[in-house]
Structure 1
Amino acid sequence: MRMHESFFLHAITKSLVHWAWPHGQGAHTMNEQIKALQTEVMNAKQKLREAIEAQPPEAVEDWELRGLNGCKVNLSRLFGDKSELLVVHNMGRSCNYCSLWGDAMMGIVPHLMQRCGFVLCSNDPPEVIKAFREIRGWEFPCVSGHETGFAQAMGYADDEGNPHPGVSAFHKMSDGSIVRTGDMPFGPGDDFCAVWPLLDLIKGGKGAWEPAHGAVDEHAPVAASSCQCI
């Protein structure tokens, strides 16, 4: 474990010790339970990262996808000047959950692209992705895998072409060949969308809430008096 990762794990578990619950001894017991579970989760995540790192890479062909203008774009081009690439397998315009995951990427993609290439790939036709990208305000690169078989080959669509959400990580070798080094499915409670663990902290959790599929602002009105500084 790198030094900064060890520091953050220590900081998280230490902070739970000082997390004050208001009702005496029973609250202290719950605090210790939460601390133990948090430590267990963090340790399991470290083991998962090590297992992903240790697995043998999977050879991948240089898939021919489609840009938003319909032009052919090979997987190798999506790396840009990097040797690593993250491809988000998105279910397309019909899935409000995938729209949420796409929205969640907005703030972190500029940081990711300092380290690797990044692109969202949907099985929708290019013109559909282009229009929906504008509606959602996504500024990161998007491509279409429509009728290419890419999602099926990566394990993110069934034999009938029905897509599943997730992400694949690729590495470009020195000879230009491509391997997949890891992948992970998306779903509520995963590590790729912070909405779920944040909602877990409030009373009642997510309740009956569902991700907004239209304009998000329409579903989250803010009174003018609530905060004058933003």
Structure 2
Amino acid sequence: MTQTSPAPTTTGSGLTLSVRGLTVHYGGVCAVRSVDFTVGAGQAVGIVGANGAGKSSTLKALMGLVPRAVDALRLGDIDLTRVRARDMVRHGVGYVPEGRKVFAGLSVEKNLMLGAYARGWRRHSQQSLAEVYELFPVLGEMRARLAGALSGGQQQMLAIGRALMSRPRLLLLDEPSMGLSPKLVEDILAVLQRLSGEGMSLLLVEQNAKLTFEATTDCLVMENGQVAMTGSAHELRHDPRVRRIYLGL
């Protein structure tokens, strides 16, 4: 699975994410069962599937946000199995949660600066801030506005920008197109393609298969908590089996 204007967060030294035997239970229900995959340096990988397939649970488990069992979880030579969710950013993992989760009572700029907390708000955070505003000009125009007053699409841009403030080597995105108009989905796609083109590693979970296939080079198709198929985005988007798994046809 492999994959220019300024790169807002690329460090130039991406590391491979390796996942082996990832399993998630909610009570007696197994939501994710023995999932294996890798995301190479500079690679954009998507996870698609029907509702309830285990996509978001996989991403939350990687971040340590839900209880999990895993045989191996590494980013390069870093063992992530013992890393707490709040410390993942310190190891180069950025996360854009489902539903945006912006701080509604804080300004756009304060939301962004909170994304740089792991770096101690050092002087180069101002450079990151300028790069995010270059990537999302509307955020620069609204920097003093409360995040809760933004539209859904603007809040999604803010959530992505906040994650980029830590200059992650790997960016995880959970349903970034949810609830957005077709025009805003195209805007988010353009941003993801730019980040990928600049060499950032991406792992994208999406209900919107079209967006995923256009934003990534390789995909996992999940069904009932397991990886049912893997392959290039180009191959999978034309595979009738994907229509069966994804649409139930």
- Short-chain TM bin: under 0.3
What TM-score, normalized by structure 1, do the two folds share?
A: 0.23
Tell which structure's C-alpha radius of gyration is larger.
1
Higher relative contact order at CA 8 Å, sep ≥6: structure 1 or structure 2? 2
What TM-score, normalized by structure 2, do the two folds share?
A: 0.22
